[in-house]
């Protein structure tokens, strides 16, 4: 018994020492990332983290190339930096770790701002407020967002998005269920295990076309958040340049032009919301202590 205990204590001591050693080094907020801007200008290569399969923000064309609204923005940034773009595709949940481990210089992948994420990575000002719509089965009785606010409702989503921060303030009584992928959440909706999922209009229409007659979209948009470019903490110059770039990108109308080209309509940044969208947005976007859920 004593030998076992001794061996466990030894291992615990070794693990604690390892943790202390990796923690002792400076965290990401130090001087160690100051080189990103200088590095990009010097090597003429911009490493951009993005996701795939998120139309029309970024998709993979059949020939393997990436295309989409986010991709176009990345290419414009690279052009202004006189650099080539090197895209690194991650999963939704891998966007933040890719920045934390300095695998990429920026992330342009419909990265919504949430309080916990902002503790891990830095954001530029938003370049878009996407809206989403809830999708329910055609046979279900829900026709408004307010009707979904009941304990009978289960909302399905995929890990890696911001639904866990957005939905509880919007629909406090509904239950949430997380799945590994968007496909699993869609399957759960189709098989009746969750009441609703929430996706952009384009994705919902695709799904409805693939399963005619089974699904219905609640035609009330809700603000999904605001999307900015993500970058690691530590390089102020990098953040400053990117943020100013985004400001100019919006100011010159380039943002709206790209948005219309890829999204087919609507406005990239919502400044005048019809029918109470701002009230709903203000109610929906979490604001307050960064408590977990």
Name which position in 120, 202, 208, 283 contacts another protein (CB under 8 A): 120
Name which position in 93, 146, 247, 282 contacts another protein (CB under 8 A): 93
- Residue 253, both tokens: 């109308």
- Based on the shown chain and the rule CB under 8 A, indicate whether residue 206 belongs to the binding site for another protein: no
Which is closer to another protein, CB of 59 or CB of 178? 178
Which is closer to another protein, CB of 121 or CB of 263? 121
Paired with 227 in beta bridges are 112, 128
- Based on the shown chain and the rule CB under 8 A, indicate whether residue 119 belongs to the binding site for another protein: yes
Q: How far apart are CA 235 and CA 276, in angstroms?
A: 39
Spatial contact of 210 and 125, defined as CB atoms under 8 Å apart: no
Q: How far apart are CA 71 and CA 161, in angstroms?
A: 19
Among 126, 127, 132, smallest CA distance to 157 is for: 132
Spatial contact of 200 and 132, defined as CB atoms under 8 Å apart: yes
Q: Are strands 84-89 and 45-50 parallel, antiparallel or unpaired?
A: parallel
Name which position in 184, 243, 266, 283 contacts another protein (CB under 8 A): 184
- Based on the shown chain and the rule CB under 8 A, indicate whether residue 193 belongs to the binding site for another protein: yes
Distance in Å, CB of 271 to another protein, minimum: 29
Percent helix, percent strand, percent coil in the chain, to nearest 5: 40, 20, 40
Could you tell me how many residues of this chain bind another protein (CB under 8 A)? Answer: 50
Paired with 222 in beta bridges are 132
- Based on the shown chain and the rule CB under 8 A, indicate whether residue 138 belongs to the binding site for another protein: no
Spatial contact of 232 and 28, defined as CB atoms under 8 Å apart: yes
- Based on the shown chain and the rule CB under 8 A, indicate whether residue 192 belongs to the binding site for another protein: yes
Distance in Å, CB of 45 to another protein, minimum: 17
Q: How far apart are CA 250 and CA 164, in angstroms?
A: 29
- Residue 160, both tokens: 């890696």
Name which position in 43, 101, 144, 150 contacts another protein (CB under 8 A): 101
Q: How far apart are CA 81 and CA 64, in angstroms?
A: 25
Which is closer to another protein, CB of 19 or CB of 247? 19
Name which position in 178, 202, 208, 250 contacts another protein (CB under 8 A): 178
Distance in Å, CB of 293 to another protein, minimum: 7
Spatial contact of 191 and 203, defined as CB atoms under 8 Å apart: no
Which is closer to another protein, CB of 31 or CB of 265? 31
Q: What does the per-residue mask of binding to another protein show for 8-27, with x meaning CB under 8 A?
A: x-xx-------x--xx---x
The residues of the shown chain that bind another protein, judged by CB under 8 A, are 3-4, 6-8, 10-11, 19, 22-23, 27-29, 91, 93, 96-98, 100-103, 114, 116-117, 119-121, 156, 159-160, 164-165, 177-181, 183-184, 186-188, 191-193, 233, 291-293
């Amino acid at each position: 018994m004593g030998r076992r205990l001794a061996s466990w204590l030894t291992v615990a001591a070794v693990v604690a020492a390892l943790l202390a050693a990796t923690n002792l080094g400076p965290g990401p907020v130090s001087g160690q990332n100051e080189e990103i801007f200088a590095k990009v200008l010097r090597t003429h290569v911009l490493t951009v983290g993005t996701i795939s399969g998120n139309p029309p923000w970024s998709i993979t064309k059949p020939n393997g190339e990436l295309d989409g609204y986010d991709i176009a923005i990345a290419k414009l940034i690279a052009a202004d930096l006189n650099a080539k773009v090197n895209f690194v595709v991650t999963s939704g949940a891998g966007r933040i770790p890719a920045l934390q481990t300095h695998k990429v210089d920026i992330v342009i992948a419909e990265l919504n701002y949430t309080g916990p994420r902002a503790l891990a990575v830095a954001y530029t000002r938003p370049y878009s407020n996407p809206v989403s719509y809830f999708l329910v089965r055609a046979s279900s009785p829900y026709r408004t967002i307010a009707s979904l606010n009941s304990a009978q409702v289960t909302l399905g989503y995929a890990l890696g998005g911001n639904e866990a921060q957005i939905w509880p303030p919007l629909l406090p009584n509904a239950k949430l269920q997380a799945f590994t992928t968007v496909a699993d959440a869609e399957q759960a909706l189709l098989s009746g295990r969750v009441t609703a999922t929430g996706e952009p209009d384009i994705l919902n229409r695709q799904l409805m076309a693939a399963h005619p007659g089974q699904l219905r979209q609640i035609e009330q948009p809700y603000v999904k958040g605001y999307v900015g470019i993500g970058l690691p903490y530590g390089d102020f110059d990098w953040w400053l340049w990117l943020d100013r770039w985004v400001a100019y990108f919006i100011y010159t109308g380039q943002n709206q032009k790209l948005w219309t080209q890829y999204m087919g309509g609507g406005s990239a940044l919502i400044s005048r919301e019809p029918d109470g969208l701002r009230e709903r947005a203000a109610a929906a976007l979490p604001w307050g202590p960064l408590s977990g859920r």
